Amino acid sequence: MIGVGIYVKNSPKAISLYQSAFGAELGYHVLNKDGTYFHAELHRNGESFCSVVEAKRDTYADQHPIELGVDFDTLDQLEQAFTLLAEGGRVEMEICELPWSPCAAIVCDQFGVKWFLSMPQHRPADDWSPED
């Protein structure tokens, strides 16, 4: 299964639009101090629909605001995909541990497609915030 991450400015407005347009419900989410979404999961018909993230830049003229996510069962699988996708592409985040995944990476392939590669994800501690 491929997950979709959408990076926008004014994430609360985008979430409201997507909830109305697609009948989506807000699931797990983490707010930035300014009330925008560091990460928000939208669900439709009880299943994951997409995630919405407040973009850090006003424009993304050199890249698409969409990121495709793939989970891997093993580190070897993730490393193989990372190596292949990085050839002729651009590494945006080296393989590392994140609060919600024991292993993850972000790479934009040679065709301009942005990929979030990760091991099975989990929720960070309830008291975690993006400022940590």
- 14-57 pLDDT, tens digit per residue, is 999 899 878 899 999 999 999 999 999 999 888 888 999 998 86
Within 8 A by CB and 6+ apart from 39, the residues are 28, 29, 30, 51, 53
CA distance 116 to 129: 20
Model-wide pTM > 0.85: no
Give the H/E segment covering residue 117. Answer: strand 114-118
Name the pairing type of β-strands 25-31 and 37-44. Answer: antiparallel
Q: Reply yes or no on whether the pLDDT at 75 is more than 80.
A: yes
Give me the residue label for tokens 């990085």: 86
Nearest one of 48, 44, 43 to 3, comparing CA atoms:
48
- What pLDDT is recorded for position 25? 95
Give strand ranges (E) for 22-89. Answer: 25-31, 37-44, 47-54, 66-71
